[in-house]
Amino acid sequence: MSKARDRRPNSPVRRWPWLVLPGALLGCASPVAPPVPPGGGPALQLDYATFASAIEPILTTHGCDAGGDCHGGGIRGTLQLSPATAKDTRFDFEQVALQVTPADPDRSPILTEPLAVAHGGTPHSVKVFADTSDADYRTLRAWVRAGVTP
């Protein structure tokens, strides 16, 4: 009977040193440095001077900054431009830059939404460019493509 009393139940409280010991001896740190987070891809560096001299006039000429249901009358979709009566070129540049997709510049909303659907455009209430041969469209596309660096 005394032998039975000497044997204590094998409880988790008594086993904890054996459970912790391997971690303490081997360490908890990873054997190598953590992996580099994903990144890379094309960078967006659009030219403000070209926007101010060539792109903003195209947007103005085609009435994109008009009030009412156009982009100068408040947010329409995801693009808002300053109204024609109170131009803010820096604001417009920043808003248009948000419409450029560096990973696939030719599919950027600033290029696809004003383009006719038959020529690769996406749905938009006003189709400013009938096709990709329009001089203003080519200027806009060249500016977008020049701003995307691999």
- Domain ranges in the chain are 43-149
Residues 132 and 119: beta-carbon distance below 8 Å: yes
Burial 22-58 (b: 16+ CB within 10 A, else e): eeeeeeeeeeeeeeeeeeeeeebebeeebbeeebbeb
Q: What is the DSSP string of 84-149?
A: GGG--HHHHHHHHHTT--TTSGGG-HHHHTTB-GGGT----S---BSSTT-HHHHHHHHHHHHTEE
CA–CA separation, 141 and 57 (whole Å): 15
pTM, full prediction: 0.70
- Percent of the chain scored above 70 by pLDDT? 73
Segments of the chain scoring below 50 in pLDDT = none
H or E segment at 3?
helix 2-6
pLDDT per residue over 43-55, tens digit each?
A: 899 999 999 999 9
For 20-40, the pLDDT digits (tens) are: 666 666 555 556 777 776 777
Q: What is the pLDDT of residue 25?
A: 61
